[in-house]
Amino acid sequence: MNPARTSVHGARTGIGRAHAKSILLGEHAVVYGAPAIAVPLHALDLTVRVSERADEQLHLRSALFTGFAADAPQRLHPLVTAIHAALALTTSAPLGLDVEIDSAIPFERGLGSSAAVAAGIARAIGDLTETPLDPEAVHDVVMAAETIAHGRSSGLDGRAVASDVPIRFRAGEVTPVPVGAPLTFVLADSGHEGSTAEAVGAVRELRETFPSRVDGVIGRLGAIVEESLDRFATGDVPALGALMDEAHGLLTELEVSDATLDRLVGAAREAGAAGAKLTGGGRGGCVLALAPDAARAAHLETMLRDAGATRTWQTTVETA
């Protein structure tokens, strides 16, 4: 037997991994068919371990809950959905499972935590049962979970947490984004939970009330994504940062920013960031700032923490 599939207690064990993502440009507009760009956050990852149980129980261990799945709170329902969706793709799944999630990804911060958990679960169950799950099968599991977590989902998170390179996403179509020079970003946690479902619903209501205005904003957000592709390809940091700044202003028009996010964006710009914006659904969550170069990223982190960020991280998108 493969040693990686044997726990210290002798039960078969499977392991699955995934990482966080950040939407660089195009959030909210992507829901209406416009393109978006997401970058991988390799510094924020998770590992899922699944092991056989002698009984027929499904037991969970995570930072949010430890206990039997039948007793899990509602916020864990996407996780349970992912387990059942992955098991449905196998032919040799055990009747009882221990599922342990060790995650460094902050939850409810717009970083794809629920999608990453679902992807990790799918890969772990595939590993446990020696069932080859191709990327589309893993994505199906993620989408089943995301529907429970967020309602209508564009599918972007599921693709982004499974990609090791930046991607352009539009209406389910994914293409890698060429990067001409390393780009260093600083991610700052506002300290407030964000609800993607709530923010998406609020934009939908705003669009119903002011359709021409909102459609104009959505159209410009999509155009910014397309303009950014050349900036990525040439490694043009100032131009890419300027597009991030414009995108934040447009997201503010969609009423998904808030005072804390605006304060952190302002602090990043004052600290010398090439550009800064909220990332994800907004109304809480995180801010993403583009450092002028890697050497100045630490200064950006310090200034963002001084401005009230509860946590900060660095990530570098390498050339591709």
Q: What positions carry a catalytic annotation?
A: 157
Q: In this structure, how many other beta carbons lie within 10 angstroms of the beta carbon of residue 66?
A: 11
Contact predicate 188/304, CB 8 Å: yes
Separation in Å, CA 237 to CA 181, 281, 293, 296: 9, 24, 8, 13
β-sheet bridge partners, residue 64: none
Closest to 186 (Cα-Cα) out of 261, 27, 28, 296: 296
Measured between alpha carbons, how far apart are the two ends of the chain, in Å? 38
Cα distances from 315 to residues 20, 40, 94, 159, 297, in angstroms, run 11, 8, 38, 19, 9
Query: Of 229, 214, 220, whose CA–CA distance to 177 is shortest?
Result: 229
| Residue closest to 286 by CA, chosen among 303, 317, 309 | 309
CA–CA distance, 21 with 268 (Å, rounded to integer): 20
DSSP letter, residue 69: G
